[in-house]
Chains A and B, each alone.
Chain A
Amino acid sequence: MPTREELAVTVRTVISDVLGTDPAELQDRTSLLEEYGIDSLELMEIGARLERALQLRIDPDDLIAARDVGHAIDLLRTRMDSPV
């Protein structure tokens, strides 16, 4: 089980790969919808990449429901504690 910081690095890297930004630009309070206008295909792509990186089935609703990057990391940690 990765620490929250380790998980955060993975999540930020995956998101920045898909959005073509720098991981350092993505803070816990960053809203992908408001600041990047992320679309549903990009969210699905992030989900697919995280599934591979974390070896974990991810419910797309977790990502859609996330208010910001930090919230997404917390939801993923919950999911890792109790896999689907």
Chain B
Amino acid sequence: MSTRHPSGGHRVAVTGIGVKSPAGNTLEEVYTALLAGRSAATRLDRLVEADLPVHFACLAPPFDVTAYLSPREARQIDRPAQLLLCAAADALADARLPADRSPDRIGVQIGTGIGGLTSMEDATTGYATRPRDLPVHTVPRTMSNSPACRIALRHGFQGVCTTYSSACASGSTALAEAARRIRHGELDVAVAGGVDSAVSTVVMGAFARMRALSTRNDAPALASRPFDADRDGFVMGEGAAVLVLERLDEARARGAVVHGEIAGWAETCDAFHIAAPHESGEVAGRCMRQAVADAGLSVADIGHISAHGTSTVPGDRAEARAVDRCFDGQSPPVTAVKGVTGHLIGAAGALEAALALVCAARGTVPPIANLHSSPEANWVDLVHGAPRRVAPAPVLSNSFGFGGQNACLVLAPPP
């Protein structure tokens, strides 16, 4: 096995994964829900009471936060930071890093699309007319780098700590930037991923005003249906996913369990519209191609695609065209996790990368939940009904965000 990546840099291993997501709070639970095509969307009375047009979302199931956080810590932070800290603790426990790692060589790289906006919404709602009573932790709670810095603070990681914001692509951006820092030797270990938790009145209302959200209030579990003819928008989800990245040669030398590699990545911007994807899929398709090339692979090496697939007509259609372009009409099998998990915004790319690693290693393509017939079926090979078995092979994981953000990752099974 070559210890060098085709780029000449270090190969990047993933040695730890932690998730807090609507489809489960362990990776194995999420994987099981994914194979079963079981949607996590549920009706939330508080959304009905708030007079929102959307009555449902995907929330992470309750778990014992006291197993992770002291009451004092829990009181100072908001839900996004809480979910991220817990996912990071799981990822680090999974990675079993040796205690002698130098803390200034460990960095934190996190993506978030919405950050602390919902906490600021609470502060605005509660204190706009009495600013002198604002809780003193308002700024540290709401600043967008708070969740990432809380990880650094808690574990004493003194390497570079960065928060990336590329809307719904944030989690993939963070993983790409983290992997770059490992590849080029800037860090020995990167704790990287994404987080968002924004099922609030204003955020849900604002997305609903764009008609981006599904309003299938009579059947929430059928609402997220990527690529299906009857889709009517995405389903808001919350969660966090964290991966521990390190040099593959170092991971092997210490006998770590390697989940797989972040083998390649690319990022581009449509530069077309602030929210709509370019319908030709040209720039997104180029991003996919660049990510595959960055991994030192050809498109024929890709075993399957984990699509961004949000269940919006413009998004799914543009992505299908982009895949068709990138693969010259020879689409590999395509799955889309959001049918089960909903759209975790800044956490989506990180959760989907974690699942792609599992699927790459096990040679499984999960079915797309709620998909029955698709107008895009002539462009892409959509997996539905039941999981499809394939040979273990690298997975292309796509993330696209408002602003025209494109971020693609290539996740390879353990060498």
Residues of the B chain whose Cβ atoms lie less than 8 Å from the Cβ of A48: 133, 135-136
* Partner pick for A45 among B70, B71, B74, B136, CB 8 A cutoff: B136
B137 touches A20 (CB 8 A): no
Nearest CB in chain A to that of B70: its residue = A20
Residues of the A chain whose Cβ atoms lie less than 8 Å from the Cβ of B72: 18-21
A41 CB–B CB distance under 8 Å: yes
Chain B positions 54-98 with a Cβ under 8 Å from a chain A Cβ: 70-75
* Partner pick for A41 among B71, B74, B133, B136, CB 8 A cutoff: B136
A4 CB–B CB distance under 8 Å: no
Chain A positions 1-56 with a Cβ under 8 Å from a chain B Cβ: 17-21, 41-42, 44-45, 48, 52
A52 touches B133 (CB 8 A): yes
B414 CB–A CB distance under 8 Å: no
B9 CB–A CB distance under 8 Å: no
Chain B positions 315-356 with a Cβ under 8 Å from a chain A Cβ: none
Residues of the B chain whose Cβ atoms lie less than 8 Å from the Cβ of A19: 72
B103 CB–A CB distance under 8 Å: no
B137 touches A45 (CB 8 A): yes
Interface digits, B124-150 against A, CB 8 Å rule (1 contact, 0 not)? 000000000101110010000000000
CB of B212, distance to nearest CB on chain A (Å)? 37
CB of A45, distance to nearest CB on chain B (Å)? 5
CB of B135, distance to nearest CB on chain A (Å)? 7
Count: A-B pairs, CB below 8 Å: 24
CB of A72, distance to nearest CB on chain B (Å)? 17
Separation of A18 and B73 alpha carbons in the complex (Å): 10
Nearest CB in chain B to that of A48: its residue = B136
Separation of A21 and B136 alpha carbons in the complex (Å): 19
Separation of A40 and B72 alpha carbons in the complex (Å): 14
Nearest CB in chain A to that of B140: its residue = A41
Nearest CB in chain B to that of A18: its residue = B75
B71 touches A20 (CB 8 A): yes
CB of A53, distance to nearest CB on chain B (Å)? 13
Separation of A64 and B31 alpha carbons in the complex (Å): 52
Separation of A52 and B72 alpha carbons in the complex (Å): 20
CB of B383, distance to nearest CB on chain A (Å)? 47
Residues of the B chain whose Cβ atoms lie less than 8 Å from the Cβ of A21: 71-72
Chain B positions 114-169 with a Cβ under 8 Å from a chain A Cβ: 133, 135-137, 140
Residues of the A chain whose Cβ atoms lie less than 8 Å from the Cβ of B71: 20-21
Residues of the A chain whose Cβ atoms lie less than 8 Å from the Cβ of B140: 41
B74 touches A20 (CB 8 A): yes
Separation of A19 and B70 alpha carbons in the complex (Å): 9
* Partner pick for A44 among B73, B133, B136, CB 8 A cutoff: B136
Separation of A42 and B52 alpha carbons in the complex (Å): 36
Residues of the B chain whose Cβ atoms lie less than 8 Å from the Cβ of A18: 72, 75
* Partner pick for B135 among A17, A20, A45, CB 8 A cutoff: A45
Residues of the B chain whose Cβ atoms lie less than 8 Å from the Cβ of A41: 136-137, 140
Nearest CB in chain A to that of B66: its residue = A20
Separation of A17 and B74 alpha carbons in the complex (Å): 11
Separation of A18 and B136 alpha carbons in the complex (Å): 11
Residues of the B chain whose Cβ atoms lie less than 8 Å from the Cβ of A45: 135-137
Separation of A59 and B72 alpha carbons in the complex (Å): 24
Separation of A44 and B136 alpha carbons in the complex (Å): 7
Residue with the greatest number of chain B CB neighbours at <10 A, chosen from A17, A20, A48:
A20
Known A21-B71, A48-B133; 11 more pairs at CB < 8 Å: A18-B75, A20-B70, A20-B71, A20-B72, A20-B74, A21-B72, A41-B136, A41-B137, A45-B135, A48-B135, A52-B133
Q: Which A residues form the contact surface with B (CB < 8 A)?
A: 17-21, 41-42, 44-45, 48, 52
